[in-house]
Amino acid sequence: MAVGCPVVLKPAPQTPITALMLARVIQDAGWPAGALNVLPLANEDAAALVADDRLEMLSFTGSANVGWALKEKSGKKRVVLELGGNAAVIVHSDADVNDAATRCAFGGFTYAGQSCISVQRIFVQKDSYRQFTDALVPKVRALKCGDPLDETVDVGPLIRRSDAERIEQWISEAVNGGAKLLCGGKLSPDGRFIEPAVLTNTKPEQRVNCEEIFGPVVTVEPYEEFEDALKLANASRYGLQAGVFTSSPELITRAFDDLEVGGVIVNDVPTFRHDAMPYGGVKDSGLGREGVRYAIEEMTEMKLLVEQASR
C-alpha cells in the first residue's frame, strides 16, 4: 500500500476468514477497488498465479518444501520466502536462568507452538541445566489448554487433527529412541490438543529436533562449552532466528558472528518479532526480508537518474 503495489492475496485454505475480514476493513477505509484482491483458493488451483507473468513478485509464507517448489515455478518473478524453522535457544550459565525458563515457556507454547519462530530446541550450559529444567517443567505443566477465546487459556488447539496426530507420533518416535518425556505429550480424546511437552535426552537426527514440529513441544539438552552450543544450534537445515541468554558481550558478539540465522535475539526467545525490523531467514528458512522498509525494498526496483551539467 505504501508504494502502490496491487496485491493478490491467497490465504491458507485452513484460515481464509481473517484475510477476508482484513480486505473488508481496507475496502471500508477507502482503498481503491482492485488494489487488494483476496482469492480463497485450494492450493492446487493457485498454481496459475505463480506462473502468471502479470504478477511480478511472489511473497510466500509457509513450509520449506512448498516455498522452494514455488520458487522453481515462478520464472522471472522476484521472490521472497518466509519458510519454516526449528528455532534454537542457548542458555549460558551466566544468564538469569529462571527468566530464561519463563521466556522459553512462553516462546515454545504461545499459539500452541504454531509459529515459524516458536522455541523448539533449547541448549543449556551443563552447570545450569538442572536449575533450568526444574524451573521450566512446572511452568509448562501449569499451562492451560482450551478455547483460545477464553482469556485464561494459554495453549489452543492444533490447526488440524492430522497435525496433532503427527506431533504425537514424533514424540513417540523420540521416546522409543531413548528420549525422556519430562511432561506433557498426550493427545486429547477429541484429537485437537497436544499437552505442552518437554523432551530431553533426544538425538539431533530425531524429527523433534531436525524438522519443524510446529506444535507445543520443546527439547532441552545440556552443552559443555559455548562453542558446542553454537554448533548444535547451527546443526539444522533451517536458520530463521535464535535466542541467546548471556550477560557476556563477548559471547553475544560470537553468537551474532557465528549463528547461521537471519536474526539473533539476546536475552529473549527467538519468538520475538517487530514489524519494523528486517525479518527473514537463511538456509531452508527462506529468502529476502520482511518488515515495512525491507518489504518495500523487496517489492520495488532501484532506478538511477543521471543528469549531466550543461557544458
β-pair partners for 88: 121, 242
End-to-end Cα distance, the chain: 42
| 307 in active site | no
| 210 in active site | no
Phi, psi (deg, nearest 5) at residue 223: -140, 160
Active-site position among 5, 56, 116, 307 = 116
Active-site position among 44, 72, 82, 195 = 82
Q: How far apart are CA 201 and CA 34, in angstroms?
A: 54
Q: How far apart are CA 60 and CA 64, in angstroms?
A: 10
Number of Cβ within 10 Å of residue 13's Cβ equals: 12
Strand segments, DSSP code E, in the chain are: 7-9, 36-38, 57-61, 78-82, 88-91, 121-125, 180-183, 197-200, 217-223, 238-239, 241-245, 263-266, 282-283, 286-287
Nearest to 87 by CA among 218, 231, 270: 270
The residues assigned a catalytic role are 82, 116
